[in-house]
Chain A
C-alpha cells in the first residue's frame, strides 16, 4: 500500500442545457468524486489514510455516490478482470422498485433505495447481507413531495450515504430519511414540504454527503435552490444557504482544504463554490460556465471541473479563487462523471468513447470506443476500469495498455443506468429489478 497517493477527483461535465435530451437526464446519476491510486507526487498513503479516517471511512466501505471521497476508485486489488456469469456473479437479489441510485456498502451490509407505485410514490430503503444477498430489512415511506420524473430518471435517483452508524436516504421527492444500520428510524424530513418550490420535473439526483456531524444536501432547481447542512443526529438544519435558481443534477463533493479541514465543493452552471461544512460560509468561488449534470473530480487540493471540456484548478495560496492549470476540450464528459486513475483522467461520452487524458496538462493520450451508450459513470480498482452501458453490458478496461483495451465483458441483460459500487473485492451493480454482486 505504500506509495499510494490521495487522488481525489471530481466528476462533472460540460453539457449544454437541454433538459429534454437523454444526455442531460442520465447525467444526474454521476456526481461526486475522489480516488486513490499510485501517482507520483501528491499525498502518500499515510496522508490518504489520515484523510479517510478524518472522514470516518473504513477501508472496505463504499458509503456514498462513487465511494470514498466520491472518487469512484477503490484501492481493492481483488476485483476480477475476466468476467464470467457462472463464476463471477456471486449473487443476484431482486429489487422491489426502480432506481438509478447506487448501492452503498457499510461493513457487512449493502443498502439501496428504490421507488415503486403507479406514481412512484412509494419509497424504499433496503438492506442486504453483503455475504449472500439475503434481505436483512426493508423500510418503506410515502413520498411527501412531487414524484414526476423523466422516464430515465427515478424517484430513487440520489445515492444514499452513511457515516458508518446511520444511513441517509434522499429521494427525488425530497424525502430524506435517516435510519440506523438496523433499520431503526432516527429522523425524517420532507424537504418539499419545507421548501415547496424546490422541485424539478425531470427529477432531482444530487446525492448527499456527510462531513463530520453534518449532512450536506444540495437541492438546486429553477424555482428554488439551496444547500442545507443538516445535523446528522436530529435532522434539523444547522444552516441553509440560498443558491442560484438553476436546475442542477450534480452532487456535492468533499475536498481537503488548505488548512487540512474538509470543504464542500458545490458545482453549478455558473461555476464552483467551496463552502465550510460546519457553517455553510463560502471559502471561495470560481466562476465559469460549468456542467450541471456530471460532477467533477478531486485529487488532493486540485479540482477537475467539467467546464470547457475539463478544466483543472489548483488552489490559491491566499485562499482566493483557484487558478486554472489547464483547460482541455478534448476531454468530454456529457453524462458520466470522469475518473482520475494513476496520472490520467478518464471521460466517457454518451456515445461510448472512452478518453484518457493526461492529468498534467489535459492532453489526450488515447481514445477507445466502447459499446455504449452510457449513463452510469465508470468506476475503477487498482488495475481496471469498470463501465456498464445502458443495455447492461459490463466492460472491463485495462487503462494501463498503451491505447487502452477491453479485457472482458459480461452481459447482465437488463437496462442499467446506475453507477456501480466497489467494496470487499466485489462490484455491486443495480438495475430497476436486480442487484448483482460480482467478484471472485
Chain B
C-alpha cells in the first residue's frame, strides 16, 4: 500500500470502487438535473463572474475578485467548482481550475481527504465536461498516484479525449515493453487494441509505425479518416500573395463543369485521389510544381445525419476553408510547418451531401524546402473520432445539403 493510502484509511476502498466503476465503464447515477443544480446560491455570484469572462480581458477584474473568494473555500467546495466548469468557456475553465488547485494546495496537506469520494464520483460521471473530469482525475492522482494508474485501465473508451489519451498512452507503454521482451504477437495485440481507442494524431501515428514494424499492413488514411477524394481546379494567379484575398470563381459558385481563366490558360475541375499515407492532397501533382498560384479542392462528404463536427486541416501553405458555403477559417502563412490536426474548425454537417471547399495558395519562395503545395483534411467528432463520408448515403442519393455555392 502506498504511503498516501496508509495515511488515508478510506483510500483503499475508494480506489477499489473507482477502479471497478471505471473498468465497467459505469456511469454514476447523478441525474443531469442534479448536475445542473450543483452550484449553490452562496457561490453563484462568484461563479457567474468567472463564467462571464470574455475576449480581450473582459470581466477580468470581476473574475479576479471572485477567484480570491472561491480559492479560499475549503475542500468541500471542490465538487461545486467542478460542476461550475461544465459548459464554461475555455477561459473560465482555466480560472476555475486554478481556484480548485489553490484549494487543493491547502486541503491536500492535511489528512482530510473526504473530498476524494466526491472527486471520484465526479470523475466517473461521464456526463460532465471533459476538462473538469480531467481535473478530478489529476486531483485524485495527486492524492494517490496509484489511484490514477488503476483508473486508467477503464478509460480507454472514455468520452474525455484527454483521459482517453492518457489511457491509450499507458497501453502504448505496455505494448512497447512487451515488444522489448521480443513477444511480438502479444505486442501486436496490444498495439491493435491501442489503435482502436486512439484519437490523437501523435498516438495514432506512433501506434501505426509500431504495427508496421511488426509487419502489419495498415490503411493509414482510413485509420486517420483523411478525406482522399477531391475535385481540384487551378492554377489561379497569386503573384505577390494576392491570391489569398482574391475571389476566384469557385468561391462565388461551385460549378464542376465550369471553365475559368487561370494563370496559365483555362482551368477546369478534375478528379484527384490522394494515396498518401497522411492524406496529403498535393496540388503540385495535377498542376505541376508552380509558384505564385492558388488552387481549389472540393470534396463531397455524405453524412447520415445532421451533426456537429470538427474539420481538421494541416498545411504549410496559405489556405481558406468553407463548409457548405460557410467560411470557417483561413491562415495566410507559408512554409513554416504542417501537422495533422494543425487547425481545428467547428462545422455543421447536414444529412446527405455536404461540400468542403479548400483554397490553397502557393507563394514564390524559391528555396527547396518551399516547394510543397498541399494540405490534408479529416472530419472528426468532438472526441476526435474520424467521421468518414457515408457510402450508403452517397449511393442512396443526396437529400439535404449540396449547396451550390462554396
Contacts and interface: CB of A to CB of B under 8 A. Distances in A.
A221 B343 contact: no
Interface stretch (B91-99, B289-297, B347-355): B91-99
B331 A185 contact: no
A247 B336 contact: yes
Interface string B299-315: 00000000000000000
A146 B343 contact: yes
B284 interface: no
A250 B342 CA distance: 23
A140 B97 contact: yes
B302 to A, nearest CB: 29
A242 interface: no
Nearest to B165: A118
B10 interface: no
A47 interface: no
Interface stretch (A186-194, A330-338, A350-358): A186-194
Contacts of B318: 223
Given A144-B90, A236-B57, A237-B56, A185 B338 contact: no
A79 B332 CA distance: 47
Interface stretch (B61-69, B76-84, B392-400): B61-69
A213 to B, nearest CB: 14
A196 interface: yes
A223 B101 contact: no
B55 interface: yes
Given A118-B169, A187-B63, A150 B337 contact: yes
B64 A202 contact: no
A20 interface: yes
A223 B369 CA distance: 20
Contacts of A121: 162
Given A184-B68, A188-B91, A137 B105 contact: yes
B311 to A, nearest CB: 15
Interface residues of B, number: 48
B316 interface: yes
B164 to A, nearest CB: 10
A190 B91 contact: yes
Contacts of B63: 187
Interface in A135-156: 137-142, 144, 146, 148-150
A200 interface: yes
A199 interface: yes
B90 A193 contact: yes
A202 B91 contact: no
B335 A19 contact: yes
Interface string A210-238: 00000000000111000000100011110
A425 interface: no
A196 B95 CA distance: 21
Given A139-B101, A185-B64, A144 B329 contact: no
Contacts of A150: 337
B293 to A, nearest CB: 18
A133 interface: no
A222 B55 contact: no
A186 to B, nearest CB: 6
B367 interface: yes
A373 to B, nearest CB: 19
B186 interface: no
B131 interface: yes
Contacts of A282: none
A184 B336 contact: no
B333 A200 contact: yes
A202 B336 contact: yes
A188 B95 contact: yes
A67 B58 CA distance: 32
A201 B90 contact: no
Indicate the member of B71, B90, B165, B316 with the most A CB atoms within 10 Å.
B90
Interface of A: 18-21, 117-119, 121, 137-142, 144, 146, 148-150, 175, 177, 183-190, 193-194, 196-197, 199-202, 221-223, 230, 234-237, 245, 247
21 contacts: A18-B367, A19-B337, A118-B202, A119-B200, A119-B341, A121-B162, A146-B342, A148-B342, A189-B91, A193-B91, A201-B336, A201-B339, A202-B337, A221-B333, A223-B318, A234-B57, A234-B61, A234-B64, A236-B56, A236-B58, A237-B56
> What are the 8 tightest A-B residue pairs by CB atom distance, in nearest-first order?
A201-B337, A236-B57, A185-B98, A222-B333, A187-B60, A20-B369, A144-B90, A201-B336
Given A119-B341, A201-B338, A221-B333, 14 more contacts: A118-B165, A141-B97, A141-B98, A146-B343, A148-B342, A149-B337, A185-B98, A185-B102, A187-B63, A188-B60, A193-B55, A201-B316, A222-B333, A234-B57
